[in-house]
Structure formats: C-alpha cells, structure tokens
Structure 1
C-alpha cells in the first residue's frame, strides 16, 4: 500500500518506520523542515528510541520511506492516512485543536475517494464523528463513511519502546460505521506485527470496538485510570509519612492478591499522556469528581515533597542551594513535557531557596533555554531526585558534596549505598 503518516514526532515516526518495515510505501508528512530533512537522511530527529536508528536508515535506503512538508500532496497519493499530530490542552483544561485542525484541513485537500483516514492522537469522546468527519467532508467534497473510511485507533505505546509496544498490545479500533471499522482493521493487520499473548482474555491483534466513540473512550479511560491510581498511591504515601510506616512494604503486601494493583508513589506525573488525558476526559465529563481530585492530588506532590525536604534539613533550606536531579519527565527519555522539574523548581524558590538543575541528557545551555537554572558546582545543602535516569541508580553520598539530605522522589537510588552515611536519604512514603 501507499501510506501517509501525518506527524513525524516521537510516536508518528516509529509508526511510519513500522509500516515501511512491512514493505509498504510510506510518506511521512511534517510541518517542520528540519524534521523532514533529518528523516530523509535516515537520521532520527530525537534520541533514544530503541531500534529506530537502524530501522530508519534501512527503510530510507530501500526507498520505502520518505518525508515531506507537503501533507496534501502526500495524502493525494495514499490509500491510507494515519494522523498522529499532538493535541494539547489550554490553561483551563480545554483541548486546543489548532494543530489538528490545520493537519485535518491539509488531509482533506488531498483526500481521494476510497481512502482510509485513521486518527491515532488521543481525543475527547465524540471528536472523530462530530469534528473530523464534517470537517473532512466539507473541505474534500467527499462523504465520510461512504466515499472514504474514517476510524479512530488510539496509540498505546511508550516513547523509548514503541516498536516493542506495537507488538505487545492489542490494537484498538472503532469506525464511523461498520464498513469503516472493517477497512481500518484490515489496514492495521497489514501493517503491524503482534506477539501471541495467551494470558489475555482475547487473542492479541486488532480489536474491533463497537463504535468510534468506544475507541476514543477506551484511551481516555486507560490513561485516566493510571492518574487516579497514582494519586491514590501518593495519598497513601503521605499518610505513611505521617504514621511512620513504609508504603512500599504495604503495597507489596496488598498486591500479593489479584484484586489489588496499587501503583508506586512518585514526586510528579509528567509526559504527554497521563497529566493531559484526564483533562480531556474532564472536558467531556466535568462532574467526574474522582478524576478531578486525583489530578489535583498529583499536582500537589512537588510542593509537598519540597516541604518534606525543608523539614529534614537542619535549619531549613531558606537561603540555601537545592539541586534537582533530572529535568526529563521520566528516566531515559530526553523530554520535558509536563515534567515535574518545573513545579519543583518553583516550590524550591517559594521556600526561599536557590534551585539548580542537572540532568545527564541535557547540556547546561539546553537547561537554561528551558528556563531551568543549570547546576555548575554551586554549594547545595539538599538534593531531590526527580527523574529515574539509569545513571542515578548508582548515586552515592560522595557524588553530592555538601548535601545533607537527599529526597529520592522515585525510589531510584540504592539504599545500601546510603546506609550509615552522613547524608540522609529519604523517600516519599517511608524510609
């Protein structure tokens, strides 16, 4: 097939490469000329995606993948179009459709009769039917569901392991109508590989849901569940601090039977997904008090953590330097979307201390460009670990000269390295 992937970001590019690895002719469209140039040279525009370097070089060299800034022309040649353009939320939590609207208009301008259009960007329930179908039809002159097939199929992968996740998890799909669903299912069976999963209630592969709304809802539900579960763990951790017990021990005990699946507490919830998609759900269902309370609970953790740190440092942290370890929103990924580093830096400042940030993936100039004060060896009295980078697993007191207290917000460091040390190691929800 001739396939067009619109949006060559950290999810769209690996998806385009996957399709090309299956022997399909793929055109990747992106509005950033630098991204397009990098892809056409066979060089990933972002680091640390497992397997992407070699796979991209291969499919570009074989002529199976090319990139362009002309989305409309790429769509005009395609039998299937997959849209993976980001959807962000405004300050009030409402979705900002500007980027997706522009991408949809470009798709519509090149849309041909018989084409499949699949949106993989996470959307509020009802968006595909109520926004994309009429917009595509109005600008192309074609009827959605009759002249072209329209489906929603949420991405369910994690940056850094996209190829493995594409094989591991069932591909969910819901169409505007039954014909669209069948067409979408045929497409994804032709472009993806699936590992057998005998432990699943249904076989791995393409799962056809009853409607496009069901597919949209499934993505919001699975991600919002994680936010709520993390918030519950964070609430339990705060109480564990209060009564002097280790919540990790409690969670292990509870999870020893199959009806409990307590997550681990963490200093922040970051990334493009978990902090954002509950807000999209709340836009659909503003009366969801549990979801709203969970989001607020997770947003409060960085401030709580700095308060714990300040109380543990003799004399407090006011007027002192405090080092935040990790700018990324999670370990091993060079990405700061909704990272906990930003509220942590602000909380440190609010406590009257001087924040500094270091990260093994970022140069000082890059941190400064993000508005983060880079660490240059200034004296610091405390440190807080924000991202669980592999490099921090062997962190020891000798690596933090002058530090009196380390708050490990990810339970990433080895407690044995800190036993008996003059530097006190703390975690959220226990010692």
Structure 2
C-alpha cells in the first residue's frame, strides 16, 4: 500500500481541498488516496474488492489472521458470492488489494478509511458498539489532516455524529474541520454484493458537515454507476438505512399475522395477498416460518432501545416474527396428532437451516428455534442443509441429502428452499405423515401426506 503522505505530495487532500472534483476523481482512481477497509466479512470483502478495482490501492483490515492469510494468498473466504473469488485473486495478484491484521498501521498509511464492522445486540437487545469503538480508536491513531472516515455499517441514529466523530476528535491530534466523517450505508444483499455495490441502487451519503458530504460523494460517485443521493446529515443517512430494514420487518410481520388467519377464514391467504398486490400502493410480503439474517431481526432494536420515543409497532412486529417458529411447530404437532402420532414418538426432518436460500448465513435463522422447540418436545430431529459444514447452533442430527431416502420419518418441514432440494426424488421417499411447507415451494409435489403450507392451509391427499 502506498503511503498516504507520499502519494498525495504535491496534490493535496480529498477533504478540504480546493482542487476541482474532476481532478479529485482522477486522483482517487489513480491511487493517490490510499484506502483502508476495516472489516472483511461478507459485506466488507466485496466492498474492499470494488474499491480496489477502482483505485488500485486498498488494504483490507481484519482481526482474524486466517482471513488475512487467505487473502494474502489470493483466496476468498466468502462463498456463494458470484464473481468475488476471481476478482479477489486478480486484485491480490496485481497488488491492488492487500490485507493486514494491524489496523493502526493501515490507519497510518490510508487517507480514506472505510468502516464496515458488525453491530451485534446484547442479550438485553441493546446495540453493542464495542467493535466500532475499537476500530475508530485505531483509526484515530493514524488520522491525518485531510483524511475522511466513511462509516458503512448499520448503527443507531446519531452514532456517527455523537460517537464516531467525537471519538476521532478526542483521540486524534486534529481539530474540527481538519478531517471528514460521513455515514454511507451499505445497501447490499448476500449473493449479489458486487452488483449492489457497483450500482444496483444509488449510494446514500450524509456527512457531519457539508465538506464531508461533498468529499464522500466524490468517492462513491466514482464507484457507483447509479450515483449518489446526498441527505442533510449523517443522522438522516443512518435513519435511511434503518428505515429500509424496519419497513421489511413490519411488512413481513403483517404477512405472517395475516397468514395465521388461513384456517379460520378458510382461504388461501397467499392468493389474497397476490391479488391485493396488484394495486400499486399495496406491497405485502409473503408469510413464512420466521425472519432471519444479520439485519432485519436486529435493526428494530437500534431505535427501540437507545431512544425514549415509544415504538409499539416495531416491538409488535418483532413479537409476531419471533413467534413464527412456534407457530410452525404447533402445525407440526397438529398434523401428527391428526394422524395418530405423538410428537414425542416422531422423527422429523428440517430441510434448509440457513435463513435464506443459497446463502450460508444462520444468524437468527428460524430453523434454530424450530429445532430447539421440537427437541424440547422429545421429537427426534434431523436436519439437512447443503451449504453448512457446522451444525452446532441447531438441536438436530445432521444428515446428507441423499440419506433422506434411507430414513423413514413422520414429519418433514421445509424451512429454506435451497436450489439443491429441487433434486429430491419425492416418489422415492416413504411419504411422511406430515409435511409443513414454510415457503410454498412444494407446489408440484404429489403425496398422500397431511400437508400444511403456511399462509395457504392444510390439504390431505394429493398435493399438486
């Protein structure tokens, strides 16, 4: 990585510079502003790779030595991300992308600092900003006049202005107006990260001052083909990111609650939702066995916990979505009892343990709670997921997909419809007494089982 001071000699800085923006973009793309990306997880590594392909001067920082070692060898530890492995290999090979476990060394050399680290929540549902605090403290040790810090990780509103900026101000040797800070949220989905970062959506940018917003816009307008949407300040940008996730959580909760009316109304709620959505102002999601991932189940607490304003709708949505694994288990039990099988005597297989098809991510996956509740009822629980190597989070006996043909089971629950499950030869299986279709993905299945589709209801006999 080129040293920031030597690379900018005779040119100036990005933040607070009098140079016109066209010249700044040219300097950025030619590598005159070294970039450090802090956090090389499933969103951080694609981001570092896109920065590196644009400017050719990026160092990625991660505390995991195995991650850094693999990247130094041109390997990619993030799987199921189209194009990322070959891009990383090429970037490392031509020295556009390097990696280190030493954040302070990276901070000393960089002039653009991009932070994309996790914000977990505690057992009390409080946002835990300890990782972010540590990274910001490291950046402060190497912050130079004219540098800019770009926060991409999702945080509670006001974090960038009152926590990140104030910490940098207090722990560096710089004064207000000598460096920039902006919140520029990642708007990225697993499985399409490169596409999203390069320009599936405009980049949102909000700075702690006008010059921070301007400087950040220069950078992201170069990276993102859809351009930049600037907002009034960093707090507004933080709210934009949160609101995107909160909308989805509340919408899914509505769908899940409506789906539970299926039996009493005697209708296919999914059909009603589909037709309702033909109106341009109606966009109801589909019901399912729960909500997982590292975003939606956690973001509501970024507003619920740190602020005094009541948020009953957000809290209720969380309760509804968190209840869906129990609803799924209740339907398993109902089906088994209708077939004269006690749940404590049942063998049950869960198909799909990750929270989303094709994505190797289990955080808050509904399959975790479903497996634990079934085991607590003394059922014998098996699990199949072609993406996973470890099953420690699940209360199951893991089996390979081809072993399904050798196992006579009483119940089968489709939680996550991976593409690999399309290869299952259903006619070669002993019909389970009960099938729960959590995602309406078994539409063409022919079976004599008792079948229940969440949001569609139950059907006994041929299901096609």
Q: Name the TM-score, length of structure 1 as normaliser.
A: 0.93
- State the secondary structure of the residue aligned to 1:262: coil
- How far the C-alpha of 1:394 sits from its partner, in A, is 4.7
Alignment partner of 1:381 is 2:410: yes
Deviations 1:224-281 (A, max 9, x none): 0100000000000000232221112101110111010010111110000010111112
> In the alignment, is the contact (CA less than 8 A) between 1:397 and 1:423 conserved in 2?
no
Alignment partner of 1:139 is 2:168: no
Alignment partner of 1:154 is 2:188: no
Alignment partner of 1:293 is 2:316: yes
Partner Cα distance (2:245, 2:429) in 1:
36
| 347, 350, 364: which one aligns with 2:376 | 350
Partner Cα distance (1:370, 1:17) in 2:
33
- State the secondary structure of the residue aligned to 1:252: helix
- How far the C-alpha of 1:93 sits from its partner, in A, is 1.1
Cα gap change, 1:132 to 1:283, in 2 (>3 Å): same
- How far the C-alpha of 1:398 sits from its partner, in A, is 3.4
| 41, 49, 58: which one aligns with 2:73 | 41
| 144, 154, 159: which one aligns with 1:122 | 154
Partner Cα distance (2:304, 2:441) in 1:
32
Partner Cα distance (1:370, 1:139) in 2:
43
Partner of 2:422: 393
- State the secondary structure of the residue aligned to 2:330: helix
| 206, 209, 216: which one aligns with 2:228 | 206
Partner of 1:312: 335
> In the alignment, is the contact (CA less than 8 A) between 1:393 and 1:412 conserved in 2?
no
Alignment partner of 1:404 is 2:433: yes
- State the secondary structure of the residue aligned to 1:72: helix
Deviations 1:299-319 (A, max 9, x none): 000001110121112124222
Alignment partner of 1:367 is 2:391: yes
Alignment of 1:170-181 (within 5 A): 170-181=202-213
> In the alignment, is the contact (CA less than 8 A) between 1:231 and 1:297 conserved in 2?
yes
Partner of 2:21: none
> In the alignment, is the contact (CA less than 8 A) between 2:331 and 2:452 conserved in 1?
no
Partner Cα distance (2:421, 2:36) in 1:
40
- State the secondary structure of the residue aligned to 2:452: strand
- How far the C-alpha of 1:46 sits from its partner, in A, is 2.3
- State the secondary structure of the residue aligned to 1:112: coil
Count, aligned residues: 415
- How far the C-alpha of 1:207 sits from its partner, in A, is 0.6
Alignment partner of 1:56 is 2:88: yes
For structure 1, the 5+ residue unaligned runs are: 195-203
Partner of 1:325: 351
- State the secondary structure of the residue aligned to 1:426: strand
| 416, 419, 430: which one aligns with 2:444 | 416
- State the secondary structure of the residue aligned to 2:300: helix
Deviations 1:199-218 (A, max 9, x none): xxxxx310110011100111
- How far the C-alpha of 1:106 sits from its partner, in A, is 1.1
Cα gap change, 1:99 to 1:370, in 2 (>3 Å): farther
Alignment of 1:133-282 (within 5 A): 133-144=165-176, 146-166=177-197, 167-190=199-222, 192-194=223-225, 204-282=226-304
- How far the C-alpha of 1:399 sits from its partner, in A, is 5.7
Range with bigger deviation, 312-321 or 68-77: 312-321
Partner Cα distance (1:143, 1:374) in 2:
56
Partner Cα distance (1:140, 1:205) in 2:
32
Partner of 2:362: 336
Range with bigger deviation, 86-95 or 397-406: 397-406
Partner Cα distance (2:327, 2:174) in 1:
54
- State the secondary structure of the residue aligned to 1:88: coil
Range with bigger deviation, 374-383 or 83-92: 374-383
Cα gap change, 1:370 to 1:41, in 2 (>3 Å): farther
Partner Cα distance (2:236, 2:224) in 1:
23
